[in-house]
Structure 1
Amino acid sequence: MHKPDYKIRTMTRAEVDIAIDWAAAEGWNPGMHDAQCFYAADPNGFLIGLLGDEPIALISVVKYGSGFGFLGCYIVKPEYRGQGYGLQIWKAGLTYLQGRTVGLDGVVAQQGNYMKSGFKLACANIRYQGVAGGDFPANPAIVPLSTLPFAELDAYDQTLFAENRTAFLSCWIEQPASTALGILQAGKLAGYAVLRKCRSGYKIGPLFANSGALAEQLFLALNASAPAGAELFLDTPALNPAAVALAQRYGMQVSFETARMYLGTPPNLPIERVFGVTSFELG
Structure 2
Amino acid sequence: MRFIRNLLIILIGIILISSLPVLFYGGSGFQYLMEVLVANNISSIGFYPLEYGLAIVNVIKNLFQPEQWVIASFGKEYSFFEFYPKRYFYSLKLFTLSFIIAIGASFLVTMIVSLSPGWFKKVSNVTIDILESLPDVFIIVGLQLIVIFIYKATGHLVAEVAMLNEEIYLLPVICLSTVPSVFLIKTALLLMREEEPKPYMDLARAKGLSRLRVLLAHNFRNVLFSLFYRSKIIFSFMLSNLFIIERLFNIKGMMDLLLYSNQLILVVVICSVFIPFYTLFSISEFFIMKKIGVREEEFING
The answer to whether the superposition gives a TM-score over 0.5 is no
TM-score bin (small chain): under 0.3
TM norm structure 2: 0.23
TM norm structure 1: 0.24
* Larger-gyration structure (1/2): 2
